[in-house]
Each structure stands twice: as structure tokens, then as C-alpha cells.
């Protein structure tokens, strides 16, 4: 026992000594003014209160290099906690002067912004400090603030590039979370991130990001990370002194998740605590690494381990999609797109609500009008009988059309929003008004098969590949339901089976109609992208939306020489080839037993 105690004391002593004698960090030549190097200018401004942080002004500064040419759009970086980045410990303008002069960075503009402070309306009262609200959230609000308010203000004075490869973000501590999340939420705007002593811990949701990164289709972002092994660490608490977790551990977990998913990421671990001693010293090298190879674009790569023995392909995004085959917008004269529905030949029908018509997109991308003069159609589904079924809640009916456009009223006095059609011609529908699930059997009789109660807001319905189960999505809940279809068409043994990730700024999942593939995986359109659940109910993948920042509202698989996945996103129709096969009404198939 004495030996164990002595060993523990020795270990603590060694740890204490190593911390006390950690590396010494100092600013190198690239952080010092150099003779003969052209110096840029730094000008201070005030951004008035706007939409995203009402009543809250922001101080910001703009660095303009001596080599700036207004005739050419300039790359730029935004530094959060801008006054700190301008200060003596980091000296970003000096670093930019030197690296631009050495042509190790392109002539870039630096935007330095401090978090907002809401001045109190009363004397002798405390202001509201917005730093945590702005930086520490994993929502898209801060990204929208940068894109819609800060960048336009700077663009009114300087010619800023619109290319996301020309745009970088840098943050320290909570600001590192703000920088990374702005790029994560809007990869169409920002491709480069510097993260110093990042707080990826359980404060306002950043601790959830490593798991989400592992599941989500990679985004074209390059990330440089730094932290110190003594960040919030003392000998008596080697796992961290803060209630939200361990900075060093969570930075490593974040790095591992990014590397696992194939990102271009680098983590530098030093010996300092929660400060910018190391960050300031390595700022020149961090910027060199972040901008290396410029102007070559930053692109997505498959994880390197996919080529290694023992790779587990289970529920991986690249088991479903191709890295080099992204979303392609279906062109045409349509003005809006909703509820795609394929036929056996690979054509896809969709609702163009603005023009009161149903359009047809052929496999080659050609769009033609299928049916004009339709009003209020909310859902389409193709039947095994080659008739196109539609829910028309404004007219309280379900109709179908033959391929020649001939119309048949299938059911009247029904409040159907979304529908699923079985091989035998039975139709399940969600009634969002009464929060029930209804059934129209093959003979046209209508009845309720799930009364109001458990499902808060039933939104979409989909059949399992063998048509033995019905999936019901709930737009107000993170859970979607699975029901067994009884021999008489009734639904029984319902369970809140599929668990989805929730949008940060909403208490609702906002998921719509689902679709299954022949392996029993379920695809849910959501504001976060396509969330894919395994047959066992676990959410395993997230496929990115064609337009970041806007929700996917509906989806469908279309057969053909190459299986294609269609989605509607921001009123447009997109498609991409996929490696899996969607379940279709005309060809039921028994899926394999799900893995546990």
C-alpha cells in the first residue's frame, strides 16, 4: 500500500514539475515589425444595431494591406474578439504585413470585431454582454450576422471576395466555437477556420459537435486547432476544473471527429493554460498552414481510413453518396418545387404550387408540364397502377391522375396533407388538422387508424420496403413513429422509434415526409439536412442540403441505370446519384434483419 501511495505522489510531483517547466512561447520575427516591409492600415468603425442582435452595436476594425487593389476582390479573414487579436500578444496586423510581403499569404483584408454590448437604458445598471450568446451557440444566428450585416458593411468600403475559399475565420476560447460554427453552418460562405483554446465543452451545445461531425457528410472546411495540456487543469483535477468539461480532452475529441470524417485538420497541443501565449507565438505558422496552396480550392475528401483493412462501412455517408457527385439543380421554367414522386421509368413528378401545376422531370433533367390547373396540392405519390396520387387539403380530397392526365377522385371530405400508397392501392394519410392518421382502403372507404394523442403533429408517412410497417414523422417532436400494418389495414403497436437531431433554435424537428431504402434505412428531410436512421431507430447519417442554411422539405428516390435521390430545397429541385436503392411501391422487398 505504501508503495502505491509513493508512486502516486511521485506521479503528481512529476506532473507538477512538467507543468511548472512547460515550454516558453515568445513572438518570433514574423510577429515583429520588419524594416522595409510595407505596413497596412487599421481603421476603427462601429456597426450599428441590426436584426440579429437588436439594440446592440459592435466595434470593429479593418486592416487593409499596403498591396490592396480595389480593382480585384480581396480575400479576407474575420477575427473574433478583434481587439485581442490586434493587441500586443497576438499582433495580427504585423503578422499579415510580414507574411503578405513574403508572399506566404495573399494580400488580404483583416476584419476584427468585438462581441456586442447592449447598453442599459437606465443609469447605474449593468449592461448586457453578448459574447457568450453570440460566440458560444451552435445555431446559425452568428453566421447570419456576419453574412448579412458585418460583411456588407465592410463591402461598402472595400472590394471583398465572394468566394468561400477566400474567406477565413479565427476565434479564441468561446470565439473558437463561434468561428467554427459560422463555417459549419454556412460552408457556402467560409472555408477556413483558426481555433485557439477552443471551448468545445458542455456550455451551450458545442460538446455535441464531435458526434454530429462524425455522422454528417463532410463540408469543405479547413481547420487549424490549438490548445494547451494545462488548459483548466490542476494536479488535483487532471480532467479539468470547469463544470462544462475538459478543454484539452474535448479539443482532442473534436480533432479526432474531424479527422475521422476526412477533414483537412491540424491540432497543435502545447503546455500552456487558457491563454494566447502559444497561440500568439504560432499565429504566423497557423496562418501559413490555413492558407497553404492558395488559390487552390478547399474540397471534401473521403476519410483516409476508407482504404484501410477493417474499415466498417456501416451507416457511413460515403456508403450512401459519392464524394465527387454533389447535388445538381434541375433547371427549368418552374417557379417552385415540392413533394417529388418517381415513376418506374425514373421520371420525377413534383408540385409547382406557384403556377398551379404538376411538372415532370425526366431522367435527363428535362422539365415539362404534366398537369395544369391544380390548386393546393401538398403531396404526390405514384401508385403501382401507374397513377399519380395527390392530396388536395384545400378541396378536402385525394385525387389520382392517369399518365394521360385523366382525373379520378379517390376520397372526399378528408383533410390529407401527406400520403403513402400501398401496392394494393390503399392510401395512408396524415391529417394535421385533427392530428390523426387516416386510411383510404382499396374500395374507397375512409377511416381513422391512429387517433389524436401521442403524435404531436403528424407530418409525413412512408412505407417500409416490405410494406409491413408505416413510418409517421412528427414535425413537433424529435421522435418519429413506427406502426405495424395489420391484415385489415389498421395500424397497431406504435412506438416513437426514430430519434432525430433537433435544430438549435427550435423546439420542433420540422421533419416532413420520409422515405426508406431497401435495407430499411429511413431518410427524413429536416432543416439540418437529410437525417438517416438505421432500421433499429438510431440516427446515423446526415446528408448535407444543396443550399446550406435552408431546410430540405421533401425527398424521393428514383430508379434508373443509376439510382438517384431527389430533394426540394429552398423551392428548387435537386438530384444526385446514390449508392443505395430506394423502396418503391411497385416492388416490395423484405429488408435484412437490422444490426444491433
Structural domains of the chain in order of their starting residue, each with its CATH number: 36-290 (3.40.50.1820), 317-577 (2.120.10.30)
First-to-last C-alpha distance (Å) of the chain = 44
Q: Distance (Å, rounded) from C-alpha 480 to C-alpha 499?
A: 7
- pLDDT of 74: 98
Cα–Cα nearest to 113, from 62, 153, 158, 73: 62
Cα–Cα nearest to 279, from 574, 335, 287: 287
By CB atoms closer than 10 A (0-12, 13-18, 19+), residue 400 is buried
CA separation (Å) from 184 to 179, 249, 250, 509?
9, 21, 18, 19
Helix (H) or strand (E) segment spanning residue 497: strand 491-499
User: Is residue 229 classed as helix, strand or coil in its secondary structure?
Assistant: coil
Q: What is the DSSP string of 268-325?
A: EEES--SSSHHHHHHHHHHHHHHTTTTTSPP-----GGGGSTT---TT-GGGTB-TT-
Helix (H) or strand (E) segment spanning residue 51: none
Q: Distance (Å, rounded) from C-alpha 138 to C-alpha 199?
A: 12
Tally Cβ neighbours within 10 Å of residue 314.
Answer: 9
CA separation (Å) from 8 to 13, 14, 20, 246, 249?
9, 10, 18, 22, 22
Cα–Cα nearest to 177, from 212, 138, 130: 138
Helix (H) or strand (E) segment spanning residue 506: none
Q: Distance (Å, rounded) from C-alpha 426 to C-alpha 354?
A: 29
pTM listed for this prediction? 0.94
User: Is residue 419 classed as helix, strand or coil in its secondary structure?
Assistant: strand
Q: Distance (Å, rounded) from C-alpha 498 to C-alpha 508?
A: 15
CA separation (Å) from 359 to 78, 116, 514?
44, 48, 21
Q: Distance (Å, rounded) from C-alpha 265 to C-alpha 251?
A: 12
Backbone angles phi, psi at 584, to 5 degrees: -125, 150
The owner of cell 430540405 is: 552
Tally Cβ neighbours within 10 Å of residue 233.
Answer: 22
Evaluate the CA torsion angle 318, 206, 524, 490 in order and state its sign. positive
Tally Cβ neighbours within 10 Å of residue 366.
Answer: 12
Strand order in the sheet with 564-569: 328-329, 572-577, 564-569, 552-558
List the helix and strand counts (H, then E) for the chain. 10, 34
Which grid cell sits at 429? 394519410
Residue 2 per-residue DSSP state: H
CA separation (Å) from 580 to 317, 354, 476?
11, 33, 29
Q: Distance (Å, rounded) from C-alpha 388 to C-alpha 559?
A: 16
By CB atoms closer than 10 A (0-12, 13-18, 19+), residue 36 is exposed
Report how far Cα 39 is from the mean position of its chain's Cα atoms.
39
- pLDDT of 66: 98
Q: Supply the mean pLDDT for the chain.
A: 94
Dihedral through CA 522, CA 525, CA 530, CA 531, nearest 10? -50
pLDDT lower than 50: segments of the chain: 1-21
Helix (H) or strand (E) segment spanning residue 217: none
By CB atoms closer than 10 A (0-12, 13-18, 19+), residue 510 is buried
Amino acid at each position: 500500500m505504501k508503495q502505491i501511495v509513493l508512486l502516486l505522489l511521485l506521479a503528481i510531483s512529476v506532473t507538477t514539475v512538467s507543468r511548472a517547466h512547460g515550454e516558453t512561447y515568445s513572438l518570433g520575427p514574423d510577429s515583429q515589425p520588419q524594416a522595409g516591409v510595407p505596413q497596412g492600415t487599421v481603421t476603427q468603425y462601429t456597426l450599428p444595431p441590426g436584426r440579429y442582435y437588436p439594440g446592440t452595436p459592435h466595434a470593429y476594425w479593418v486592416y487593409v494591406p499596403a498591396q490592396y487593389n480595389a480593382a480585384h476582390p480581396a480575400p479576407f479573414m474575420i477575427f473574433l474578439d478583434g481587439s485581442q487579436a490586434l493587441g500586443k500578444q497576438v499582433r495580427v496586423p504585423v503578422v499579415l504585413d510580414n507574411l503578405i510581403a513574403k508572399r506566404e499569404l495573399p494580400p488580404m483584408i483583416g476584419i476584427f470585431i468585438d462581441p456586442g454590448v447592449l447598453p442599459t437604458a437606465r443609469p447605474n445598471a449593468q449592461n448586457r454582454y453578448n459574447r457568450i450568446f453570440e460566440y458560444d451557440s451552435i445555431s446559425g444566428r452568428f453566421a447570419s450576422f456576419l453574412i448579412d450585416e458585418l460583411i456588407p458593411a465592410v463591402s461598402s468600403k472595400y472590394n471583398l471576395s465572394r468566394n468561400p475559399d477566400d474567406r477565413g475565420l479565427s476565434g479564441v476560447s468561446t470565439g473558437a466555437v463561434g468561428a467554427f460554427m459560422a463555417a459549419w453552418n454556412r460552408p457556402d460562405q467560409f472555408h477556413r477556420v483558426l481555433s485557439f483554446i477552443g471551448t468545445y465543452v458542455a456550455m451551450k451545445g458545442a460538446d455535441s459537435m464531435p458526434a454530429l461531425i462524425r455522422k454528417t457528410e463532410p463540408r469543405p472546411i479547413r481547420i487549424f486547432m490549438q490548445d494547451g495540456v494545462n488548459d483548466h487543469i490542476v494536479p488535483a483535477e487532471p480532467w479539468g476544473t470547469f463544470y462544462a468539461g475538459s478543454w484539452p480532452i474535448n479539443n482532442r475529441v473534436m480533432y479526432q471527429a474531424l479527422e475521422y470524417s476526412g477533414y483537412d485538420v491540424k491540432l497543435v497541443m502545447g503546455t500552456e493554460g487558457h491563454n494566447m501565449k502559444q497561440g500568439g507565438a504560432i499565429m504566423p505558422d497557423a496562418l501559413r498552414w490555413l492558407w497553404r496552396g492558395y488559390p487552390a480550392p478547399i474540397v471534401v475528401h473521403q476519410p483516409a481510413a476508407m482504404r484501410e483493412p477493417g474499415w466498417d462501412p456501416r451507416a457511413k455517408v460515403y456508403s450512401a453518396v459519392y464524394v465527387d457527385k454533389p447535388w445538381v439543380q434541375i433547371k427549368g421554367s418552374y417557379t417552385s418545387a415540392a413533394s417529388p414522386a418517381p415513376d418506374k421509368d425514373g421520371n420525377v413528378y413534383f408540385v409547382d404550387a406557384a403556377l398551379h401545376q404538376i411538372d415532370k422531370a425526366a431522367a435527363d433533367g428535362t422539365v415539362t408540364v404534366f398537369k395544369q390547373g391544380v390548386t393546393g396540392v401538398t403531396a404526390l405519390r405514384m401508385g403501382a397502377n401507374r397513377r399519380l396520387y395527390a392530396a388536395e387539403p384545400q378541396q378536402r380530397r385525394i385525387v389520382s391522375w392517369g399518365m394521360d392526365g385523366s382525373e379520378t377522385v379517390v376520397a372526399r371530405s378528408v383533410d390529407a396533407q401527406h400520403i403513402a400508397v400501398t401496392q394494393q392501392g390503399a392510401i395512408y394519410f396524415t391529417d394535421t388538422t385533427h392530428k390523426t392518421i387516416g386510411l383510404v382502403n382499396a374500395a374507397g372507404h375512409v377511416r381513422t387508424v391512429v387517433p389524436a394523442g401521442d403524435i404531436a403533429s403528424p407530418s409525413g408517412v412512408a412505407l417500409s420496403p416490405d410494406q409491413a410497417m408505416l413510418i409517421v414523422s412528427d414535425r413537433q417532436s424529435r421522435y418519429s413513429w413506427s406502426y405495424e400494418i395489420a391484415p385489415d389495414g389498421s395500424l397497431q403497436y406504435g412506438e416513437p422509434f426514430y430519434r432525430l437531431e433537433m435544430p438549435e433554435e427550435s423546439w420542433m424537428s420540422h421533419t416532413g415526409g420520409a422515405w426508406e431504402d431497401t435495407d430499411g434505412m429511413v431518410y427524413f428531410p429536416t432543416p439540418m439536412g437529410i437525417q438517416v436512421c438505421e432500421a433499429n431507430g438510431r440516427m446515423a447519417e446526415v446528408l448535407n442540403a444543396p443550399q446550406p442554411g435552408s431546410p430540405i422539405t421533401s425527398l424521393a428516390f428514383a430508379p434508373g441505370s443509376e439510382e438517384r435521390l431527389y430533394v426540394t430545397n429552398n423551392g428548387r429541385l435537386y438530384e444526385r446519384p446514390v449508392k443505395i436503392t430506394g423502396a418503391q411501391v411497385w416492388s416490395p422487398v423484405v429488408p435484412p434483419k437490422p444490426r444491433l
